[in-house]
Amino acid sequence: MNVFLTVARERSFSIAAERLFRTQPAVSLAVQRLESAVDEKLLDRSGRHLVLTDAGELVLEYALRFENLSRELEQALAELRDKAAGKLAIGANESTTLYLLKHIHQFRGLYPKVKVEIRRSLSSTLPAAILRGDLELGAISYEPNDERLASNIIYVDRLCFVVSPRHRLAEQENASIRELGEETFIAHNVASPYRQLVLEAFQKNRVPLNMDLEMPSVESIRRMVEAYEGVAFLPKMCVEEDLRQGRLHEVKVEELQIDRNIRLIYPRQRRLSYATRAFLDLLTETNLSL
């Protein structure tokens, strides 16, 4: 199964052989034996590149599960030997990663032997990654609506309308959505529930929304707004330092007061590692003390 997983990832017998430190005929024979065992053809070898058959895609899904279970077993055994050791893998997008930083710093102080890995991921992919076992925890800003996942609100953020200090609205604390019809909005080119809420608010109030610029990251949007290239709606947690330093100015839009609930998700039924439970306890204690 491990040989097949490597071949499926590399789409090449020769590269898989190099990765596994085995000969190419040995790798090919291992895949043939697996195909014989399941009585299905798993790889289409007729073209220039290997292609997974439908059965191959199915076996690959289970191979990934086996790999994750093997990793969980290794971690569980390591924790039996030393409860302070282990690994914590958390998936988060650009903005939720910023919220996690202070908690990771605190966690590392308490459990310095635990290896912590924050994987930048699209929020929409995190529930599936958690259920597959690729990650222990995920930080998202929407309700996953999956009974297999537990979801705890760990922070309440909000969307923040920001402009350059040179902008005409920078002298105002509040504005109506109707004042924004001629503005150039700099948008994040990743779809999100909050982007949809903004679109609906403009449509409801019959105000044009000119999204002439789309950027790949929150950081690039912040810089464009600061450079007076447009305006934007961004998570408050991402611009707090800019607001304090006067690089950006917040204007409250009466019709757009949108909270963002940051949630930590994890599998409801699966056994959680010691490191995962410790991190969840840390966040719970921190939130209770606020």
Alpha carbon 6 to chain centroid, angstroms? 25
Least confident of 62-71, 158-167, 224-233, 237-246: 62-71
Confidence at 252, pLDDT banded by 50, 70, 90: very high
**Between the CA atoms of 129, 281, 94 and 117, what dihedral angle is there, to the nearest 10 degrees?**
-60
Mean pLDDT of 207-224: 91
3-state secondary structure of 257: coil
Letter string b/e over residues 197-232, b meaning 16 or more CB atoms within 10 A of that residue's CB: ebeebbeeeebebebebebeebeebbebbbeebbbb
Domains and CATH numbers, the chain: 2-76 (1.10.10.10), 82-155+261-289 (3.40.190.10), 158-258 (3.40.190.290)
Contact 158, 236 (CB under 8 A): yes
Query: Whose CA is closest to 262, among 290, 237, 240?
Result: 237
Q: For residue 87, which phi and psi values (nearest 5 degrees)?
A: -140, 145
Residue 82: its pLDDT value, please? Answer: 67
What pTM value is reported for the model? 0.64
Is the pLDDT at 81 greater than 70, yes or no? Answer: no
Amino acid at 238: C
How much of the chain exceeds pLDDT 70, in percent?
Answer: 96
Q: Is residue 159 a contact partner of residue 235, using CB atoms and an 8 Å limit?
A: yes
Q: How far apart are the first and last CA of the chain?
A: 49
- pLDDT confidence bin for 290, thresholds 50/70/90: very low
